[in-house]
Amino acid sequence: MKIALISPKGPLYRHKTGIFRKSLRAAPLTLTTLAALVPKELQADVALHDEGIEVLPESLDADLIGMTVITGTAPRAYQLAAQYRAAGKTVVLGGPHVTLAPDDAKPHADTIVTGYAEETWPALLRDYEYGELRAHYQMAPDFSLKKPENLVFAKRSLLKRKAYRTSHTFEATRGCVHQCDFCVVPAAWSGGPYQKPVEHVVEDIQQTRSKYVLFYDLNLIANRQYAESLFKALVPLRVKWFGLASTLLSTHMMDLMARSGCRGLLIGFENVLPNALDAVNKSFNRPSRYCELVSRLHDRGILINGTFMFGTDAENTDSFKCVEEFVMSAGIDLPRYSIVTPFPGTPLFRRLEKEGRILTMDWSQYDGQHVVYRPKCMSVEQLQEGHERVWKATYSVSGIVKRTAARLHDMFAAYPLVLTTNLGYRYYANNLSRFYTCMGGIA
C-alpha cells in the first residue's frame, strides 16, 4: 500500500506564491503523527507533502491520499481531491473543517474522518486494505490520549526538515477549558482537554535530542496540576521551549515556566477593550492586567507572541489605535493580528448566519485576514483597512525597534529568532494588500 499525506494551503500560505516565509514556519505534527499511526502489518510506504514548503507534484504515486483540512484550505483540498479521484486514487479528508462541517466535505472524498484520528485512522487503513472502506469514520466518545495504543512518536524524519524554522514540534495536551465564541476547538472537539502522560512527552523530546522545543498545545496551563508536572519534568532536560498559554498565569506558574526553560509564549490577548472581549465570551481576559503580565514575563526572560483580533460587535474604528498603542508601549515582541472570523460550526457563525450577516461562503477567505461578515460598528472597508494599517505600523522598521530594543539584554540566544521572525512578519504585513485584491477583498 502506498499512502500520500498532504497539508494543502490557501493562497496566503502556499509555497512560492504566498507570503508566509520560512522564518515563520514550524513543522506540522498532524502529518507526521498520522504517518506514525499507520499499522505496521500493512507495510505501507508513506510520503508527506506540505504545500507550504513545496509545490505538489503533478501526479502522486499513491493508492490512498489523505488530506488534513482547515476551513481556509477547504477549496484547495476539494480541488486536489477532484484531481486525484479522477486519476483513480482513493481520497480521505479529515481535520478541523471536516469535523466542523462534515456535510460540506463528504461530496469531495471517498471517506471522511471527524474528530481526532488516533483510533479511526488505523481502522480506516485496515478497512481499505480489506476492501471494506466506510464513508465516515468518527472519533469514539471514550477517546483518550492516555491509551497506550494512541501514544506514538511523530515520524519527523519524513519531513523536509530544512524547509522549516524548526522541526522540533511537540504536543502534550489538546483542547481548552474555555468556550470562546469564535474558537473552533470547543465546537469541534468536546470532552477535552486531553493530556498525554508526562513521561511520554519527555521521552519524545529526549529521543529527538533537541535543545529547542516548540509546543503546539492550545493552552499548556489549561490543567494547572498537569502543567506543573510537565514543567517540573522539563527542568532536568535543560531545553529552551516555546508554547501557548492563556493570560491566567500566576506568579508561581511563571516562575516554574521560566525555571523549566520557557523562553517564549503565544498569548491570546485578543483586544484591549473589555466590551470587545465580552462580545466573544472571553471576559476572563482582563486588559487592566495586561501590562503587568507582560512586564512580569519579560522580567523572567520570556518573550511574548501576542495575538489580537479586530471586528467584534463591541468595537468601532477606535480599537485599532488602542491595540497599536498597547502593543508598542508594552513591547510585545511578536504581535499578530487577525480579523474576527466566524468559522462554520462555532457559536459565532451560527449567530451571524441567523442575523444574515455572513457575506460569503468562499472558505478560502476564512483565513483570519479577510472580512467575511458584515461588522456591526464599522464598514467592511474600515475593518480591512484598519487591520492592515496596524500590521504595517507595528512592523515598520521603527515599530520593530521600539518594541524590542529595550529588552535586547533579556533575549538571550532567542533574539536572532525574534529578529528574523519580526522581519518575516514585516514582509507578510507589507504584502497583505495584494491578496485582498486577488481574493475578492478590498485593495
Tens digit of each residue's pLDDT (9 = 90 or more) over 224-263? 999 999 999 999 999 999 999 999 999 999 999 999 999 9
361: Cβ–Cβ under 8 A, 6 or more apart, which residues?
Answer: none
- State the pLDDT at residue 442: 41
Which residue has cell 469564535? 182
Residue 192 predicted with pLDDT over 90: no
| Cα 364 to Cα 436: distance, rounded to the nearest angstrom | 12
Radius of gyration of the chain (CA): 21
The percentage of residues in the chain with a pLDDT greater than 90, rounded to a whole number, is 78
Residue 144 confidence (pLDDT): 86
Query: Which set of grid coordinates corresponds to residue 423?
Result: 522581519
pLDDT in tens, 327-365: 999 999 999 999 999 999 999 999 999 999 999 999 999
Tens digits of per-residue pLDDT, 87-99?
Answer: 999 999 999 999 9
Judge whether 372 and 358 are in contact, CB under 8 Å.
yes
Reported pTM: 0.93
| C-alpha cell of residue 68 | 488534513
Strand (E) or helix (H) holding 114? strand 111-114
Q: pLDDT tens digits, residue range 162-187? A: 899 888 999 999 988 888 899 888 88
Distance between CA atoms of residues 302 and 249, nearest Å: 13
Domains and their CATH numbers in the chain: 2-138 (3.40.50.280), 168-438 (3.20.20.70)
Strands of the sheet containing 111-114, edge to edge, are: 45-50, 2-7, 64-68, 90-94, 111-114, 136-138
The whole-chain average pLDDT of the chain stands at 92
Q: Which three cell numbers stand for residue 303?
A: 518573550
pLDDT 10s digits, 15-44: 888 888 887 889 999 999 999 999 999 999
Cell of 267: 498569548
Question: Using an 8 Å Cβ cutoff, are 386 and 393 in contact?
Answer: no
User: Grid coordinates 499507520 are at which residue?
Assistant: 38
* The pLDDT of residue 167: 87
